[in-house]
Amino acid sequence: MPSPYRAIFAAPGTTAFSTAGFIGRLPLSMVGIGIVTMISELTGRYKLAGLVTATLALAAAVMGPQVSRLVDQYGQRRVLRPATLIAVASVSGLLLAAANGLPEWTWFVFAVGAGVVPSVGSMIRARWTAIYRDSPRELHTAYSFESVVDEICFIFGPILAIGLSTTWFPEAGPLVAAVCLLVGTWWLTAQRSTEPEPHPRATHTEGDKGSALRSPGLQVLVATFVATGAIFGSIDVVTLAFAEEEGHKSAASVVLAVWALGSCLAGVVFGLLHLKGKAERRWVLGVSAMAVSMIPLLLAGNLPFLAVALFVSGLAIAPTMVTTMALIETHVPRAKLTEGMTWTSTGLAVGVALGSSVAGWVIDSSGARTGYVVSISAGAAAAAVAFAGYRRLTRPAQGEETSGDGDGDSREVREHVA
């Protein structure tokens, strides 16, 4: 591991909570595609699969920030454990309903309950922030490392979920994902020494009242991530259907892993760099690069060409995500950092719901390859929102103490991360 990455693990407890976070975060890339694979195996209906997955994503979008707000107030252990139990029980109910042919409306009920799933990635990043808040360079490296971990999850998660559901039994992928969530979250919350200090509502200042989403800068990031999530959701569903049309459905996991590999490699390199210039400009450039990289997908005539096109498009993902985390720190009060990070995940979840459901409808009506039109349209929307909201991002947060510990430290974070 390069020295900048090795250095961030010098702090006690970092290896343990990062490992637990990896296990708990693996379901992020397994549940959605696992449910799509399960339902398509059981019914052959991609539209139904997309709608159920979209329901889960929308439920997570509504409840996820509320769970994280409670975490900011009462601590990770007190909130994450009951939330995880509810989510795991709901996923289990969905699997039983699908396996036993219960009415389809029950599938959607359980999908809503599964939306209580906590944002494990936000919990891990909050721990890194608590440790390296006064060391911007190390914090940048830590965020880059976590983006790499995200992409490793997306490399192995779809392979595991699709492989289990297509070669073992249809419900195997989501089942293993639920087990990983339970084990990872329990292990993480057992580590009290690195848990960020909670900020009870009673101690909040006047400026800290209300949701973190009141920040204009965070609103831009979340809106852009809705469109970005539509890219992710549509590509997952369309790639699975495209691989099935090509006669190699199980190969979809490999193709999606190549996409994540491109992002993973870019994230490793990005974490080693000490870039100059404004983070806001780099963020807009990253979003635009993702949008442009969607165009070749429509031209893919076979799986090898599609894999190459997705690898190239993946190069823009991790750097954009890392820069997003840095921007959140400059626009969200310290007492609401976990909630702020979760709102970007919420934007992604809403986008995934829209992208997967619309893509499923397009696939059923016009074929798999046409489904990539949804990805291209989502990319164009993301770039348009990013450009339109650029001025809001360049305005510092007003009247609230950000995670950078005030205006001076916030500027320091910008300069070092940039």
Residue 204: is its pLDDT beyond 60? no
165 vs 372, higher pLDDT: 372
Residue 407: is its pLDDT beyond 80? no
Q: What's the confidence (pLDDT) of residue 384?
A: 94
13-196+213-417 under CATH 1.20.1250.20, yes or no: yes
Q: What's the confidence (pLDDT) of residue 155?
A: 66
Give residue limits of the domains in the chain.
Answer: 13-196+213-417
Residue 148 corresponds to which amino acid? V
- The tokens for 79 are 């909130």
Q: Is the pTM of this model over 0.85?
A: no
Q: What's the confidence (pLDDT) of residue 207?
A: 47
- CA-based torsion, 327, 330, 332, 338: positive or negative: positive
- pLDDT, tens digit, 9 for 90 and up, residues 242-293: 888 888 877 887 888 888 888 888 888 887 776 676 778 888 999 999 999 9
What does the mean pLDDT of the chain come to? 81
d(CA 292, CA 298) in angstroms, rounded, equals: 12
Radius of gyration from C-alpha coordinates of the chain = 20
- pLDDT, tens digit, 9 for 90 and up, residues 32-44: 778 888 888 888 7
Residue 418: is its pLDDT beyond 50? no
d(CA 95, CA 353) in angstroms, rounded, equals: 19
Percent of the chain with pLDDT over 90: 20
- Residue pair 364/46 in contact by the 8 Å Cβ criterion: yes
Of the candidates 58, 39, 37, the one whose C-alpha atom is nearest the C-alpha of residue 354 is: 58
